[in-house]
Amino acid sequence: MRNYKNIIRLTLSLGIVSWLALLATDLLMLFGDVNNVRSGVPVELRIALLEIFFIALFFYYKFITGRAEKVNFIDLLWRVFATGLIATMVSLTILLFFRLLGNSRLTENVFLISFFYLVFYGLVTAFLTSTLMVWQQLILYQKSKRLITLWSIFEYTLLISVLLSFVPLNLNGLVYNAVLTVLFVLGLVLSINLKWVAYLDFRQKWKSIMMMLAIAFFLAYFFIDLNGYTEIYGQILPFEMQGNLYISALFAFTFIYTLFSLLVILFNLPTSSVFEQKIEEVINFQRLSQSTQAGYKAEQVYDILLESSVKAVFADAAWVEVNDGSKQLLLTKNVAAEKVPALKQQLKEEYHQYDIIRSLPSRLARINRSQKRKRHKMLELPAYRSVLWFPLVVKNINIGTLVILKELADSYNKEMVGIIHTFVSQACISIENFQLLSETLENERYKEELKIANRVQRSLLPKKTISNEAFDIVAFSEAADQVGGDYYDIYQINEHKFIIIIGDVSGKGTSAAFHMSQMKGVFHSLAQLDLSPDKFLSYANSALSRCLEKTSFITASFFVVDTHEHTIEFARAGHCPTLVYNAQKHQAKFLESKGLGLGIVRNASFDSYIEVSKETYESHDVVVLYTDGITEAVNPANEQFGYERLRVLIEESADNEPQVIQQEIIRNLYEFCQQKILNDDYTVLIIKFK
């Protein structure tokens, strides 16, 4: 850190000294030209001082800008705006000074003109350099190896252009044009990296638009002003902007990225609420999951389902009707309860399928297509043209219906239907778990009901493993009781990017199973956002903190596997260290990084406990994910199975197929414990790369 600060001081001092020396050199040479005497100062000295000034500013701003991950995007844009504003105010002050002088001879004084030109030139260079470094941080947000390589080439080419700035070359010469072409092409390629825009909310996007417009104005104003100096005072200026490849490249690149950013933010402005809506959907999903906690009533579950569904699809009206034999319930939203029977009758007449459709959600799409013309027909009481209805199925019994109405025709899309289906499914699981818990406390059918819960929970885990051209994955999970708190899942983002998670809820039994289902909801809701490991764990902690009991938490490990880059990016939330086998070295090691369980710290400080790591893999490498039920399993002598036994076991069996490796782990575990019933849930997931 001390060396870091010393470098900043050194580059700043070098920049100031080189500019002052450049000013003195220029004025001395100008004095010799005016008085027709030899100044004794070589032209090469002025060129060298200017190049030193450029390089000093380049590295000064490179070091002080910092990393975008630690700075708010708006703060980064504000830095650029503030620097440009200062330079503009100085320029306007100079202009006002000359206006106040009027026709005075001072306005034609070559020393005064040269002095002010160098001041303005230095400020513009500082503005362009600081803007370049801020744009670097925005471009490299969520960086990749390819992106870093492109930026490095761009930077090196820029530094080369500094050395070529005042070398006597024809303006249209081969070297000048070649370097300028490379910079222009690289600048265009880099300018399309605008991932940071997606993380701005509506207000931040408006602020960004205002500042980007101001930055674009500054760039245009400085460009015009420097050209104005050249046109009016070109004969007495020490150097011109048009002949400086470095400054021209900075102007071009910063303006292109500013323009691209402005256009992308403008085009994304109408959809800026999508990300916030996704987060709200996650929270609503958690509210449904939370309803399974003790003290909640079934009516509250239906009320949350109704409210969440209306908000998710911006419905005009909706109702939930429940009739499970023991009680009848009707909850409405924006429609009077006395109008529901008339609407039900009209739906039967219009669609002829109201009662039949409630048997299977999958029939919804078929009915909608077959009744497309009738959906467009105006309905009365009131005029609803788009209708969705979902059955509420608990324990394979249809206990009710959710009906959602909108006034406009064709108002629902596939994503909306999927969201509501997820809400309905979770509500049904919550009701089922609620009934299961109640019945368990009231009668002696505890084991039978837990078997039902076990089937529900197993349905939340992947039903089949993944096998593709890049890797094979097999998994095995067993609960100590009928239900447990271990969880794993796999989600494919695109053809070469996969995300994998494994988690373990504190405790075991029904409470852990409930929290496990909540974790699945969080994972599937956040997985489609394609977040980085630290962002995923941060959002997951925020969502789970709203529904977990104060004494409960969840440990997890989150992985992003990129089969194109052959990388594994991961973060750990207090979970067991991952075991990785290197096929070339025939060695296995544990990957450890800091992390805290989800729900332990329930505020923004949780982010400081997340550490993201990245590893590369090669063919035949093996990754083993597991829960602490494996390593903490004990034998009759109360000795734990432990990490070392697991590591040695993997090194001995890593050459086998994943299914064989998994079977070897389980076999050795049972032999070590000398029993078929373990004290804790245990889960193991084997990934072998091809």
* Stretch 586-596: mean pLDDT: 89
> b/e string for 245-270 if b means 16 or more Cβ within 10 A?
bbbbbbbbbbbbbbebbbebbeebbe
Other CB atoms within 10 Å distance of the CB of residue 7: 15
- Residue 489 reports pLDDT greater than 70: yes
* Stretch 197-204: mean pLDDT: 81
The whole-angstrom separation of Cα 421 and Cα 484 is: 25
Reported as a single tens digit per residue, the pLDDT across 462-486 is 866 778 889 999 998 887 666 677 8
For the ranges 235-249, 275-289, 617-631, the lowest mean pLDDT is seen at: 275-289
Band of pLDDT at residue 376, cut at 50, 70 and 90: very low
Joined tokens for residue 395 = 């324990």
For the ranges 112-126, 308-322, 534-548, 617-631, the lowest mean pLDDT is seen at: 308-322
Residue 165's pLDDT is what? 57
The whole-angstrom separation of Cα 280 and Cα 260 is: 30
- Residue 355 reports pLDDT greater than 50: no
Band of pLDDT at residue 364, cut at 50, 70 and 90: very low
**Radius of gyration over alpha carbons of the chain, in Å?**
33
Band of pLDDT at residue 358, cut at 50, 70 and 90: very low
Joined tokens for residue 468 = 């593709």
Mention every residue, 6+ apart, whose C-beta is less than 8 A from residue 570: 533, 557, 558, 559, 560, 578, 591, 593, 612, 613, 614, 615
The whole-angstrom separation of Cα 430 and Cα 453 is: 11
Residue 498's pLDDT is what? 93
Q: Which of 241, 235, 251, 242 is nearest to 184 (CA)?
A: 251
Q: Rounded to 10 degrees, what is the CA torsion of 526, 532, 534, 536?
A: 0
For the ranges 61-70, 128-137, 180-189, 265-274, the lowest mean pLDDT is seen at: 61-70
Q: Which of 275, 333, 244, 260 is nearest to 47 (CA)?
A: 244
Reported as a single tens digit per residue, the pLDDT across 634-646 is 888 888 999 999 9
* Stretch 228-232: mean pLDDT: 69
Other CB atoms within 10 Å distance of the CB of residue 8: 16
Residue 33's pLDDT is what? 67
- Residue 381 reports pLDDT greater than 50: no
Taking a C-beta distance cutoff of 8 angstroms, is the pair 630, 650 a contact?
A: no
Give the helix ranges, DSSP H, for 371-445.
372-375, 414-442
- Residue 444 reports pLDDT greater than 90: no
Band of pLDDT at residue 567, cut at 50, 70 and 90: very high
- Residue 96 reports pLDDT greater than 80: yes
The whole-angstrom separation of Cα 176 and Cα 78 is: 34
Band of pLDDT at residue 34, cut at 50, 70 and 90: low
For the ranges 115-124, 293-302, 559-568, 615-624, the lowest mean pLDDT is seen at: 293-302
pTM of the entire predicted model: 0.47
Q: Rounded to 10 degrees, what is the CA torsion of 171, 173, 174, 179?
A: -10
**How would DSSP label each residue in 509-536?**
SHHHHHHHHHHHHHHHHHHTT---HHHH
* Stretch 444-453: mean pLDDT: 56
Joined tokens for residue 299 = 């009516």
Q: Rounded to 10 degrees, what is the CA torsion of 274, 275, 278, 283?
A: -130
Other CB atoms within 10 Å distance of the CB of residue 611: 14
More confident: 183 or 303: 183
Residue 539's pLDDT is what? 92
More confident: 225 or 415: 225
Q: Enter the DSSP assignment of 140.
A: T
**How would DSSP label each residue in 571-598?**
EEEBPPPEEEEETTTTEEEEE------B
For the ranges 59-68, 522-531, 572-581, 630-639, the lowest mean pLDDT is seen at: 59-68
- Residue 177 reports pLDDT greater than 80: no
- Residue 379 reports pLDDT greater than 60: no
* Stretch 571-575: mean pLDDT: 92
3 state DSSP class of 400: strand
Other CB atoms within 10 Å distance of the CB of residue 194: 17
- Residue 366 reports pLDDT greater than 50: no
- Domains annotated for the chain, with CATH where assigned, are 72-270 (no CATH), 274-443 (3.30.450.40), 463-689 (3.60.40.10)
Q: Is 538 left (phi over 0), alpha (psi -120 to 50) or beta?
A: alpha
**How would DSSP label each residue in 633-687?**
-B-TT--B-HHHHHHHHHHHHTTS-HHHHHHHHHHHHHHHHTSSS-SS-EEEEEE
Q: Which of 202, 681, 286 is nearest to 518 (CA)?
A: 286
Residue 356's pLDDT is what? 35
Sequence letter at residue 309: S
Residue 471's pLDDT is what? 93
φ/ψ of 555, rounded to 5, equals: -90, 145
Band of pLDDT at residue 333, cut at 50, 70 and 90: confident
* Stretch 643-663: mean pLDDT: 93
The whole-angstrom separation of Cα 349 and Cα 381 is: 14
- Residue 240 reports pLDDT greater than 70: no
Residue 472's pLDDT is what? 93
Q: Which of 382, 323, 316, 389 is nearest to 354 (CA)?
A: 389
Q: Which among 179-188, 208-217, 488-497 has the top mean pLDDT?
A: 208-217
Mention every residue, 6+ apart, whose C-beta is less than 8 A from residue 671: none
The whole-angstrom separation of Cα 148 and Cα 426 is: 43
Residue 452's pLDDT is what? 59
- Residue 414 reports pLDDT greater than 90: no
